[in-house]
A = this chain, B = another copy of it.
Amino acid sequence: MQAQLQQLKDILAEVDDLMRAAAVLQWDLETYMPPGGVEARSQQLATLERLAHTRFVSEEVGRLLEDLHPLLEQEEPDSNTACLLRVTQSEYEKECKLPGELVAELARKTALAHTIWQNARETKTFSTFQPLLNELVDLMRRKAENLGYTDHIYDPLLDVYEPQMKTAEVAAIFKTLKDALVPLIQQIAERRDVVQDKVFQGHFDVKRQWDFSLEVLREIGYDFRCGRQDASAHPFTTSFSPDDVRITTRVASEHFSAGLFGSIHEGGHALYEQGIPREFVRTPLNNGASSAIHESQSRFWENVVGRSRPFWTHFLPRLQRFYPEQLANATVDQVYQAVNVVQPSFIRVEADEVTYNLHVFLRFELETDLLAGAIEVKDLPELWNQKMNIYLGITPPDDALGVLQDVHWSAGLFGYFPTYALGNVLALQFEQRMRQDWPGWDTEVAQGKFAPILHWQREHIHAHGRKFAPQELVQRVTGETINPQPYIAYLEAKYGELYGL
């Protein structure tokens, strides 16, 4: 049995090497690749993904999984081996439903789409992206049909990022959130002028923004010996192994907060990936439990830590050293206000904590309707703008500030968006549990104590890699299932205090 386990691990290692190599090529495509390189790159990515897929769905893997079934009974259910076999079995069943040709075609088309989306966004012309997006939606529908579903065509795509979660469950959670957030946003709107962001208005040298973000990342525990930060059109995190986890961000002189919180957000993802045990390397366990669990880490660091008063008590004096003229007289309270202004805005990744979720609802609704065939690609810009108006009362002046802002659809990441809001919800469930272990965690942040937070996350979340299904992990850590109430309570308390509601 041990020999067969080793055989399986060897194949999984090969598949992992191919997928991580593809991730390197993708990272390069989004950071340094010259424009001419896209055609060859799309072929290379298609080949790598096809080979990884073919190897994984081979009869050999099926036979080994069958042979190893008794081991699954013998081993402790929580053991690494049992979890590896379970996760592999489940992935194997899913992947077997996808033809290699579809996997390759999706890899090729999304690589090509990246450049086309980027140009479309730069020139603010949705029409140049539309034909390829049409093809991608068709490919996603084929993928969904192949994976199969009973309730909603969106279910199998959501399942890629959030195993076992259903579209209807997401809709129910979003309904609860919406019922709490829409009135909260209204109340805030009435007291708009109470909270100001004047302190971060104006020009902030981008080189210094960059250096400050590196300093913050270093302090919260991101290990630069095993990582780096680069610039890209859309911030992302990628892992080639727990010892090589990279993030990207974008900085603009007029948007100080956007660059910094982009870095902290991706830093949160990176801390998760860097924290996965080395024994999981080159296996499917070297991954986060799900995208929502991943977002619970990134959104936690970005918002619950990064937009807190103690955080700025610690970091404002550091930041003042980078911008001595602009910020010499800034107070912690001014900065705390500036990073927590609630205001309808166009760009999701730059949105405040409260309105952020509405950006996600909008995308979730458009995605599900698009996949179900209720709406068409060509109508997306208009529908986007309509929904922005309904949810936030503003209309994007162009598609770069609207439907073209996110990288996700060009990358074939249909099903990902809801996990951002689910991550917000989970972040506060985890925070509640952490507070039981360490009641004063947030006040100690004021002294620059970030290591205990990371230590808690490492122990309760990162150490498990992908061993457990997301909802099982949530149950293990918090003792309950996903529950939006702590998040709603957090927002109401924080913004109630800020806006004097």
- On A, residues with C-beta under 8 Å from B are 13-14, 17-18, 20-22, 24-25, 28, 32-37, 39-41, 43-44, 46-48, 51, 223-228, 230, 240-241, 243-244, 246, 281-282
Partner of A28, one of B17, B22, B28: B28
Partner of A32, one of B14, B224, B228: B228
Q: Are B17 and A240 in contact (CB under 8 A)?
A: no
Most buried by B among A18, A47, A224: A47
Q: Are B223 and A36 in contact (CB under 8 A)?
A: yes
Q: Which residues of B contact A241 (CB under 8 A)?
A: 36-37, 39-40
Alpha-carbon gap, A47 to B224, bound state (A): 26
Q: With A24-B24, A36-B244 given, is the CB distance from A13 to B226 under 8 Å?
A: no
Q: How often does this chain occur in the complex, in copies?
A: 2
Most buried by B among A17, A22, A223, A226: A17
CB distance from A275 to the nearest CB of B (A): 13
Q: Are A34 and B228 in contact (CB under 8 A)?
A: yes
Q: Which residues of B contact A35 (CB under 8 A)?
A: 225-226
Alpha-carbon gap, A40 to B273, bound state (A): 14
Q: With A41-B240, A240-B44 given, is the CB distance from A25 to B36 under 8 Å?
A: no
Q: Are A244 and B24 in contact (CB under 8 A)?
A: no
A17-B44, A35-B226, A40-B281 given; 4 more Cβ-contact pairs under 8 Å: A21-B44, A28-B28, A34-B224, A39-B241
CB distance from A33 to the nearest CB of B (A): 7
Alpha-carbon gap, A44 to B226, bound state (A): 16
Q: With A24-B25, A28-B24 given, is the CB distance from A40 to B230 under 8 Å?
A: no
CB distance from A221 to the nearest CB of B (A): 14
Q: Which residues of B contact A281 (CB under 8 A)?
A: 40
CB distance from A30 to the nearest CB of B (A): 13
Q: Which residues of B contact A240 (CB under 8 A)?
A: 37, 40-41, 44
Alpha-carbon gap, A424 to B243, bound state (A): 42
**Which 4 interchain pairs have the tightest Cβ spacing?**
A37-B244, A40-B241, A36-B226, A36-B243
Q: Which residues of B contact A41 (CB under 8 A)?
A: 240, 244
Residue of chain B at shortest CB distance from A48? B21
20 residue pairs from A and B, CB less than 8 Å apart: A17-B46, A17-B47, A20-B40, A24-B25, A24-B44, A32-B32, A34-B226, A35-B225, A35-B226, A36-B226, A36-B227, A36-B244, A37-B240, A37-B241, A39-B241, A39-B243, A40-B244, A43-B282, A44-B240, A51-B51
Q: Are A43 and B24 in contact (CB under 8 A)?
A: no
Residue of chain B at shortest CB distance from A20? B44
Partner of A43, one of B13, B36, B47, B51: B13
Alpha-carbon gap, A124 to B44, bound state (A): 39
CB distance from A232 to the nearest CB of B (A): 13
Partner of A243, one of B40, B51, B225, B228: B40
Most buried by B among A24, A46, A230: A24
CB distance from A208 to the nearest CB of B (A): 17
Q: Which residues of B contact A17 (CB under 8 A)?
A: 43-44, 46-48
Q: Which residues of B contact A51 (CB under 8 A)?
A: 14, 18, 51
Residue of chain B at shortest CB distance from A244? B37
Q: Which residues of B contact A244 (CB under 8 A)?
A: 33-34, 36-37, 40-41
Alpha-carbon gap, A244 to B42, bound state (A): 12
Q: Which residues of B contact A21 (CB under 8 A)?
A: 21-22, 25, 44, 47-48
Residue of chain B at shortest CB distance from A23? B44
Q: Which residues of B contact A47 (CB under 8 A)?
A: 13-14, 17-18, 21
Q: Which residues of B contact A37 (CB under 8 A)?
A: 226, 240-241, 243-244
Q: With A14-B47, A40-B281, A44-B21 given, is the CB distance from A32 to B243 under 8 Å?
A: no
Residue of chain B at shortest CB distance from A281? B40
Residue of chain B at shortest CB distance from A18? B47
CB distance from A60 to the nearest CB of B (A): 15
CB distance from A497 to the nearest CB of B (A): 41
Q: Are B225 and A32 in contact (CB under 8 A)?
A: no
CB distance from A365 to the nearest CB of B (A): 38
Q: Which residues of B contact A39 (CB under 8 A)?
A: 241, 243
